[in-house]
Structure 1
Amino acid sequence: MNLPEIHRRRTRAVRVGNVTIGGGAPVSVQSMTNTRTADADATIAQVRRMAEAGAELVRVAVPTADDTAALRKIVPASPVPIVADVHFHFDRALEAIAAGAAKIRLNPGNISDRRQVREVIRAAADTGAAIRVGVNEGSVVDRADAARRQADLRKPLDELMADKLAEYLEVFGECGFDNLVLSAKSHDATTCVAVNRRLTERWDYPLHLGVTHAGTRETGAIRSAAALGALLSEGIGDTIRISYAGDPVHEVAAALELLYSLRLRARRGIELIACPTCGRLQTDIAPIVEQVRAALADVTAPITVAVMGCVVNGPGEADSADVAVCAGKGKAILYRRGQKLRTIPTEEILPAVVDEVRKLAAEWADQKR
């Protein structure tokens, strides 16, 4: 089929270690550790798990000097560039840069002293580190001055976040520093979409997309997909993080699936399409789908598998899938790339699908050699 393509917004290219953000580079996936960074061994172990899952950048929290000191062990042991997440204390940014962090994140809401920001900019310029300037809904409103606070609260949130970012970027312009990534995050998906559209109208810096404090794995993935999916489909966004409470490896998997679904990333492994299981079913395919998923979890070849339960969508999915099965009462039709292979009994669906997929995976591996 001739499918529509997403036309991505062109941005500046920012180098973060061996990863390029923006400038037409593929949308990169990142996540953040939830270990205490001062525990270097635990943090390294988690970074490696995240990298194995597909993360290309990993951010770590550095609230204390012990955390930035641990970076001297973490950075050289990491398979991906390390980003230091800095809040409140500009000294942590200087220490992180000195320890080899490829990028730091600064929050205008809690590091606002221009002299301190200039020191961080000079240090980053000397080492080639990138800086992400990230505004968050939770820290964007002025809390020190009552009049400014009221003025901030009167503005639409997306406008306020963009304006605060513009104010903060003035010092970077004065210093001639443009190795920058921008972000503006809210827990509200609609606000995230609106503010990032504003950023694209004002700057050509690459954008980091994310929804802050998105929630649990169940709700957070959906909330993030609502915002990030809308923006990415418009060509907006150069690196993404899906965030929710729990194991960050799951964040990486969700981010990759979002990029796969939008065809912004070539899929690695099985794409499993399944029937929505309506009342027309004559075979209980839900357990079969799970069995197929588990049996093919180790396959890295980009193969589409469709497990369908009736004649409404089954034949169409069979045409576009690499391997498909259309189940009826007590039997199913097995397809390979749109061609009917044979009719099989229900109990043979799993082994038959697995066998055909593994044949295709072997052919794919041979072609790559």
Structure 2
Amino acid sequence: MSLRPWRDITRRKSRQIMVGKVPVGGDAPITVQTMTNTLTSDAKATIEQIRRCEEAGADIIRVSCPDVESTAALKEIVRASRVPIVADIHFHYKRALEAADAGAACLRINPGNIGSADRVREVVNAAKANGCAIRIGVNAGSLEKDLLEKYGEPCPEALVESALDHIRLLEDHDFREYKVAVKASDIFLAVAAYQQLAEAVDCPLHLGITEAGGFVGGTVKSAIGIGSLLWYGIGDTLRVSLSAEPEEEVRVGFEILKGLGLRHRGVRVVSCPSCARQGFNVIKTVEALEQRLQHIRTPLSLSVLGCVVNGPGEARETDIGITGGGAGKHMVYLSGVTDHHINDENMVDHIVSLVEKKAAEIEAAAEAQAVAAE
């Protein structure tokens, strides 16, 4: 479904880079990232976590490489991963060299923080030799001392100046395969910094509200900050930083993109908050459906409304809908049209079955269209 004019978002024009086989920037889809929280040196545990993130839809996954044991395990991790791996090497330039040689698709590094010009040159040469991109990650909590002295406190101008300083170090070595983040825990600071940086550079921007908090609070803060920037058309890739399992970050990231109509993956659920008019327990039903429909990747919509006040109207706009009725008898809508009734018993199983069938139909139609176009 195309966006109406008053919903249209015009994305900022950025040049495109490649993170492994995943394009970032330009007209490529906005990618969703996360970061593992296992010890990277424990390759088995890290790969298991990466699998869960892949199933949730992660496009790119970052792992921390603070020591030689981690970069030693990275080759096995990269080989096992289905998506590109970003190596976060902190301040130690040798970890960057090791990670590049181990197959990392991208290095998360601030070149100005790793020491001498010779070290920067070594890292850039390793990135070029191994086809690595670089992510510059400016953070309000770790700004350079001279910038804090200059500005007195973290501010948008300080974050942008830091980013431009790091960019200059890469471009001095003729390296342009980079993306940049200017993150802060303060929403206003982060949004203002990204807005200023977006006007100053043409590289892809990695969005995030850092240290956002727990699952609920962090989701809200991230949705406000990241969502505001995306609405302005700013952002080519994102990570939702939560004190939660990394696969939850991925799901929230996709929900933000789905909410703005920028990218669609899986089932978009429209549901009411429920009230005394509900014909079935809406909250428990939606909880069960969201859990059981996580495996669906095909974009489609499902409305779950407890009564006939808004139910029929919402159902007309979704692929599948259910509206609560009296005496435990509820109306099911298919493609916006009333189709049949269902009782409370096995209602969730029935809806899951309908969604799976609809997803299979959409996938089959897409495959047939692709074959016809060849």
- Structure 2 counterpart of 1:328, from 313, 325, 328: 325
- Distance, in Å, in 2 between the alignment partners of 1:201 and 1:141 is 22
Q: Could you tell me how far 1:34 is from its partner in structure 2?
A: 0.8
AA of the residue aligned to 1:200: A
- Distance, in Å, in 1 between the alignment partners of 2:363 and 2:169 is 52
In the other structure, the counterpart of 2:316 is 319
- Structure 2 counterpart of 1:34, from 19, 37, 43: 37
Residues 184, 190 of structure 2: 8 Å contact kept: yes
Residues 138-190 of structure 1 deviation map (CA, whole Å, 9 limit, x = unaligned):
11141xx6xx6432325x61111001111222222221211110111001122
Please say which of residues 270-279 and 33-42 is displaced more in the overlay: 270-279
Residues 322, 332 of structure 2: 8 Å contact kept: yes
In the other structure, the counterpart of 1:130 is 133
CA change 1:72–1:325 in 2 (3 A) is: closer
Q: Could you tell me how far 1:66 is from its partner in structure 2?
A: 1.5
Please list, as runs of the form range in 1=range in 2, the aligned pairs for 1:317-356 lying within 5 A after superposition.
Answer: 317-330=314-327, 331-347=329-345, 349-350=347-348, 353-356=351-354
- Distance, in Å, in 1 between the alignment partners of 2:326 and 2:246 is 42
Determine helix, strand or coil for the equivalent of 1:63.
coil
CA change 1:334–1:161 in 2 (3 A) is: same
Please say which of residues 320-329 and 272-281 is displaced more in the overlay: 272-281
In the other structure, the counterpart of 1:150 is 149
- Structure 1 counterpart of 2:121, from 118, 122, 129: 118
Q: Does 1:48 align with 2:46?
A: no
CA change 1:297–1:226 in 2 (3 A) is: same
In the other structure, the counterpart of 1:107 is 110
Please list, as runs of the form range in 1=range in 2, the aligned pairs for 1:1-369 lying within 5 A after superposition.
Answer: 3=4, 4-107=7-110, 110-142=113-145, 149-153=148-152, 157-268=155-266, 270-281=267-278, 283-330=280-327, 331-347=329-345, 349-350=347-348, 353-369=351-367
CA change 1:33–1:116 in 2 (3 A) is: same
Residues 36, 43 of structure 1: 8 Å contact kept: yes
Determine helix, strand or coil for the equivalent of 2:249.
helix
Determine helix, strand or coil for the equivalent of 2:262.
coil
Residues 144, 162 of structure 2: 8 Å contact kept: no
- Distance, in Å, in 1 between the alignment partners of 2:148 and 2:71 is 33
Q: Could you tell me how far 1:16 is from its partner in structure 2?
A: 1.2
Residues 271, 303 of structure 1: 8 Å contact kept: yes
Percent of matched pairs sharing the same residue: 42
CA change 1:59–1:356 in 2 (3 A) is: closer
- Distance, in Å, in 2 between the alignment partners of 1:109 and 1:86 is 13
- Distance, in Å, in 1 between the alignment partners of 2:352 and 2:48 is 33
Q: How many residues align?
A: 363
Residues 110, 139 of structure 1: 8 Å contact kept: no
- Distance, in Å, in 2 between the alignment partners of 1:21 and 1:124 is 17
Q: Could you tell me how far 1:201 is from its partner in structure 2?
A: 0.5
AA of the residue aligned to 1:278: C
CA change 1:13–1:287 in 2 (3 A) is: same
Residues 118, 171 of structure 1: 8 Å contact kept: no
CA change 1:96–1:279 in 2 (3 A) is: same
TM-score by length of structure 2 reads: 0.89
CA change 1:171–1:40 in 2 (3 A) is: same
In structure 2, the gaps of 5 or more residues are: 368-374
AA of the residue aligned to 1:329: G
Residues 278-300 of structure 1 deviation map (CA, whole Å, 9 limit, x = unaligned):
35445443233334444544444
- Distance, in Å, in 1 between the alignment partners of 2:142 and 2:200 is 21
Determine helix, strand or coil for the equivalent of 2:152.
helix
Runs of 4+ in structure 1 deviating by more than 6 angstroms, as ranges, are none
- Distance, in Å, in 2 between the alignment partners of 1:27 and 1:95 is 29
- Distance, in Å, in 2 between the alignment partners of 1:358 and 1:47 is 25
TM-score by length of structure 1 reads: 0.90
Q: Could you tell me how far 1:334 is from its partner in structure 2?
A: 2.4
Residues 108, 134 of structure 1: 8 Å contact kept: no
Residues 98-134 of structure 1 deviation map (CA, whole Å, 9 limit, x = unaligned):
2221110113674354332222112212222111111
Q: Could you tell me how far 1:37 is from its partner in structure 2?
A: 1.1
RMSD: 2.3
In structure 1, the gaps of 5 or more residues are: none
- Distance, in Å, in 2 between the alignment partners of 1:44 and 1:6 is 36
- Distance, in Å, in 1 between the alignment partners of 2:295 and 2:60 is 24
AA of the residue aligned to 2:151: D
